[in-house]
Amino acid sequence: MAGSLASTIPGLVGRARFEVIPAKAIEEKVLEHVPRDRTITVTASPAKGLGSTISLAERLAGHGYRVVPHLSARLVVDGGHLRDLVDTLTAIGVDDVFVPAGDAASPAGRYEGSLSLLRDLDLLGRPFPNVGITGYPEHHPSIHDDVTVQAMWDKRQHATYIVSNLCFDPAGYRNWVLRVRARGVTLPILTGMADCTSSPSTR
């Protein structure tokens, strides 16, 4: 068992994604700490807007990284805005996006949550082969657990994987996975992990 675990860990670490925020000097830090063969996910926030996310994703892609931008639904204004984002990202070779609802108190336009944006991506021909959605192994601050699990069921046909929020309770995480599977959601789950170094956080 120990030998099997020892042989598995390097492979898991090698596939880890590094999540960064589009903050000042983050590009230089990524270039300094993260090998070019790793995947970088770029978050979005109401304060910085999607423009900062897309701009950093473009620059990191130019450096040779595989990038996964967050398309926070509540920051997308309408279908035209979504088409522009798709055109920009596909032009730089992005084949994977993460689509949360986002933290904006009020939506910028028509998208109250991620499901409607995911449906519109489908109408655009599913331009991204890989699409991630959010999972909450620990309680969402304002949404009941039953609702978050049901939301994954609702989104399962529009997504290809789930990314879990951070969870520091192994037993709780296991129970959450069992609950998700019992609901019939079979998408792969990427485990969110806190970073314990000074380099960008991993997923």
The model's pLDDT over 192-202, given as tens digits with 9 standing for 90+, comes to 887 644 444 43
With cut-offs at 50, 70 and 90, classify the pLDDT of residue 148: confident
Task: Give the per-residue pLDDT at 202.
Answer: 37
pLDDT band at 138 (very low <50, low <70, confident <90, very high): confident
pLDDT at 12: 61
Tell me, rounded to whole angstroms, the distance of Cα 147 from its chain centroid.
Answer: 19
The residues near 165 (Cβ < 8 Å, ≥ 6 apart) are 134, 135, 136, 137, 138, 192
Average pLDDT, the chain: 88
pLDDT at residue 13, as a whole number: 63
pLDDT at 198: 44
User: Tens digit of pLDDT for each residue in 28-66?
Assistant: 999 999 999 999 999 999 999 999 999 999 999 999 999
Q: What is the CATH number of domain 18-202?
A: 3.20.20.220
With 90 as the cut, is the pLDDT of residue 133 above it? Answer: yes
pLDDT at 201: 41
Digit-coded pLDDT (tens) for 67-87: 999 999 999 999 999 999 999
Q: CA-CA distance, 36 to 22, in Å (whole number)?
A: 18
d(CA 80, CA 89): 14
| Helix boundaries (H) for 34-159 | 49-62, 79-91, 114-123, 145-155
CB of 185 closer than 8 Å to CB of 156: yes
pLDDT > 70 fraction of the chain, expressed in percent and rounded? 88
Q: What is the pLDDT of residue 113?
A: 92
Residue 149: the pLDDT is 87
> What pLDDT, on a 0 to 100 scale, did the predictor assign at position 10?
58
